[in-house]
C-alpha cells in the first residue's frame, strides 16, 4: 500500500516559518524550501529515525501542525492543510518501514 504526502508545508521553529514542499519518499520524509528549490538545501528525515509523530496546535497561526520527533530527539514542526491525513499516512509508512527493516527477534 502506498501512503502519499506531497503537499505545500511550512517548517516552523517557533520564530521563523519557511515555505516549501513536503514529500514522503520510499525511505525518507523530504522537505525542500520553495525559494531554494535549485539548491542542495533541504531537510531529509529517514523513516528509520522517526520516533514519534503527533498533531500539535500552533497558537501563532491558529492552526494544527505535524510534529516529527527523531530517535536522536530532534523535532521538526510542519504546518500544512489536511494535517490529520498526513500524520496518518506518515505514521503508517514509518511503521511499515520499521516492520520490514527491524532485525527479527526470533531465535534461530
Q: CATH code at 29?
A: 2.30.29.30
Looking at the DSSP assignment, which residues form a beta bridge with residue 30?
23, 44
In a domain, 35, yes or no: yes
In a domain, 108, yes or no: no
pTM recorded for the entire structure: 0.81
| pLDDT at residue 63 in the model | 86
* Domain count across the chain: 1
22 with 31: CB under 8 angstroms?
yes
91 with 69: CB under 8 angstroms?
no
pLDDT at residue 108 is higher than 70: no
C-alpha cell at 13: 521553529
| pLDDT at residue 21 in the model | 93
In a domain, 65, yes or no: yes
| pLDDT at residue 2 in the model | 55
Looking at the DSSP assignment, which residues form a beta bridge with residue 45?
29
Integer Cα distance of 31 and 48 in angstroms: 16
Q: Which domain holds residue 33?
A: 6-101
Closest CA to 29 of 93, 100, 88, 96: 93
pLDDT at residue 107 is higher than 50: no
Amino acid at each position: 500500500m502506498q501512503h502519499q504526502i506531497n503537499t505545500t508545508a511550512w517548517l516552523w521553529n517557533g520564530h521563523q516559518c519557511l515555505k516549501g514542499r513536503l514529500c514522503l519518499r520510499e525511505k525518507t520524509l523530504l522537505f525542500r524550501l520553495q525559494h531554494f528549490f535549485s539548491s542542495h538545501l533541504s531537510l531529509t528525515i529517514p523513516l528509520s529515525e522517526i520516533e514519534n509523530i503527533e498533531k500539535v496546535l500552533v497558537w501563532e497561526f491558529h492552526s494544527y501542525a505535524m510534529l516529527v520527533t527523531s530517535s536522536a530527539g530532534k523535532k521538526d514542526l510542519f504546518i500544512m492543510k489536511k494535517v490529520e491525513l498526513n500524520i496518518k499516512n506518515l505514521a503508517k509508512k514509518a511503521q511499515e518501514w520499521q516492520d520490514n527493516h527491524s532485525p527479527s527477534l526470533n531465535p534461530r
